[in-house]
Amino acid sequence: MKSKTTSCPACGAPVEFHNPGSLVVVCEYCQSAVARGDKDPEDFGKVADLVETDSPIRQGTSGKFRDSHFTVAGRVQYKHPAGGVWDEWYLAFPGNRWGWLAEAQGKFYLTLERPLKSSQAPDFDSLEVGSRITIRDKEFAVAEKGTATALGAEGEIPWLFRPGAEHKFADLQGPNNAFATLDFGEDAIKLYLGVELTLDKLQLDHHDWHAPVTATVVPGKLLNCPQCGGQIELLAPDKSECVTCANCASLLDATEGKLRYLQTLKEKDVHVSIPLGTEGTFGASKYTVIGFMERYTMYEGRAYPWSEYLLYNSDLGFRWLVESDRHWTFVESVSASDVKSTFSSAVKYGGQKYRLFDKGTAFVRHVLGEFYWKVQIGETVQTADYIAPPHMLSVEKSFTTKSEEINYSHATYMTPEQVENAFGLKSGSLPKAWGVGPCQHAPDVGVAIFMLWPVFLFIIFVTHLMFSRPGSTSGSSAGVMFFAMVVVSLFPVGVIMYQRNFEVRRWADSDYSPYATDD
C-alpha cells in the first residue's frame, strides 16, 4: 500500500497518509486535523484531547472479520447529546474499503457505507423513535436519533472530519442483530449498514501494543474523589461514565480518565439488599453488582418506588436485577426490531403476546456505584410495561434537547430464594414477596385434575344409570348422584376460583386490568 507524506500546515512536521482512502490525518506533533487538498494540505483546526475510555481497541491493531483482514487506522470521539462520549474506529480493509466500528456502553457495531436511494432517504425531523422504516428492502426500527459533536480524533479518518462539527444521526436496529446508521449531512444522507457484534468476532491481534489477545477483562481502577480525597474503585472503568463516592455522597463524572465532581447527593437512608461488588451467577455467566438505583413513579399523589441493581460481565456487558415489593426480575436488553408495536395495549415479542400492565413516567430518586451513562437525580423516562407471566417486556423512551432514544428490555421473574442462590446469600436473607407480582408465576396445579374431572362425573352418571334400570331393586337416587357430582367438582372448581383470584390480585394495581368493573 503506497503512502503519501506531506507537511502539517500548522506546525510543519511530517504527516503521513498510509491509506489512499483516508481524507484526514491527525498530526502527532500539534494535534491538528490535516486534510488532503488538491495541491496543498488544509488545516481543519486542532482536535480536542481524547477522553480515556480504556477501550480494548487501539490504533494500529489488526484483525479479521469474515475472512477479510483489516487494520485500525484511526478514530473519532463523539460527545453524545445526553452527555458522555463514544468512540468510532475506522477499519482499513483491502481494496480501499473502510469499516466504521462504533463502541458504546460495552457494545460494538460494525458498519460499511452503502448506497441509499433518494426515495428511501427519510427526513430527520419526521423520524420517530420506535417507528419502522424500510432500508434496502429490510425493515428497521428507529432506536435513537440526535445531534452528536465530533471532539477528539487520532490517526487516519476516511471522511472530512472537522473538530467541533455537529452531526445529525439516526441509529436503526433490524432482525438478527442487523444495525444501521443514517448520517444526515448538509449535502446528502449517508447509510452505514452492518451488524451488532461481540469483540471476539473481530479476531483482534494485540501484539503491537503488548496486550493479551483475549484481554476483554479490564481490571478495576483506583481513583480518588476530587471532593473528599477518598479512594474509589471503578469495577468497570472502560464502560462507566459516572460513579458515586461512598464517603461524601458526591456524584462524579468518570469519562475523562479522572473523576470530576458533578453534584452532591442528598443524604438518604437507602436499603441495599445486595452490596456493591457482590458476584452472582445467572445461567452459566457470572456478573458483578456495580450500581444501585432507586426509581419511582407517581400515581394520584403517591410515590411507588422500586430498586434496580446494575450487573456487569466484561464479555456480555450489562444486565439489571430489579426488585419491586420484594418481587425480583432479571432483565436483559432486546433489539427494538424484535418488538412489534409500541406504547399500545399489547405488543408481540418472540412470537408471544404481552399485555399492557402499566405506563407512566419514572423518576430517578437515588444512585450508588457506577453507571454506563451520566445518570442524574430527577432524570425521567416514559415507561410502559407489558406482561406475559413469568415474563415482562418494558419500554423506556427518553428525550433531551438534541436527542430521542427508545430502549426495550425483557425480564424474567425470580423468587427471593433464586436470587439468594444466585449470589450465594444465606437462606432467608431476602424478605418474602408481598402479594402477587406483575409477572409472577401463576400457580401450577397441573392439567391432570381437569382431565380427570369429567371422567369422574361420567363414572358417577353411568353408575347412576346402571343402578336405576327398570326392575332394579336397589340403586342410587338422583339426589345422591347430584351430591356425588358436587363433591367431585368442589376441588377443581375451587382451583379455578383460586386461579382467577390470583389473576385479579395480579392486576389489582393496574389501570388496564381485564378484571376491572365499571364501579
Contact 111, 179 (CB under 8 A): yes
Cβ atoms < 10 Å from Cβ of 442: 12
pLDDT for 455 equals: 64
Residue-by-residue DSSP string for 455-518: HHHHHHHHHHHHTTSTT-S----HHHHHHHHHHHHHHHHHHHHHHHHHHHHHTTT-TT-TT---
Which pTM value belongs to this model? 0.82
Cβ atoms < 10 Å from Cβ of 125: 9
At residue 201, the 3 state secondary structure works out as helix
Long-range Cβ contact pairs of 306-314 (< 8 A, separation 24 or more): 307/272, 307/273, 309/274, 310/369, 310/370, 310/371, 310/372, 311/280, 311/282, 311/287, 312/235, 312/236, 312/239, 312/287, 312/288, 313/285, 313/286, 313/287, 313/288, 314/216, 314/217, 314/218, 314/236
Give the count of alpha carbons within 13 A of 103, CB side only.
Answer: 20
pLDDT for 30 equals: 95
Rounded to 5, what percent of the chain is helix, strand, coil?
15, 45, 40
Q: Return the HEC string of 283-300.
A: CCEEEEEEEEEEEEEEEC
pLDDT, mean of each 10-residue run, the chain (519 residues): 83 91 94 87 92 84 93 94 87 94 88 90 92 91 95 94 94 94 91 93 70 43 82 80 84 77 76 94 95 94 94 89 96 93 84 94 94 89 96 94 93 97 94 91 67 65 62 55 65 70 88 79
Give the separation between CA 417 and CA 149, rounded to whole angstroms. 47
Contact 133, 218 (CB under 8 A): no
Give the separation between CA 469 and CA 184, rounded to whole angstroms. 88
- Sequence-distant (≥ 6) Cβ neighbours of residue 357 within 8 angstroms: 385, 386, 387, 392, 438, 507, 510, 512
pLDDT for 478 equals: 65
What residues does each domain of the chain span? 4-209, 221-267, 277-423, 448-506
Retrieve residue 1's grid coordinates.
500500500
For 215, 220, 234, 293, 452, the CA distances from 240, given in Å and listed in that order, are 18, 11, 8, 14, 58
Contact 265, 285 (CB under 8 A): no
416, containing H or E segment: helix 416-423
Give the count of alpha carbons within 13 A of 516, CB side only.
Answer: 10
Retrieve residue 497's grid coordinates.
376460583
pLDDT for 40 equals: 84
For 104, 150, 157, 224, 266, the CA distances from 243, given in Å and listed in that order, are 17, 25, 32, 12, 15
Partners of 301 in beta bridges = none
Contact 146, 169 (CB under 8 A): yes
pLDDT for 189 equals: 93
Under CATH, what is the fold of the domain 221-267? Rubrerythrin, domain 2 (2.20.28)
- Sequence-distant (≥ 6) Cβ neighbours of residue 215 within 8 angstroms: 56, 206
Cell 442524574 locates to 376
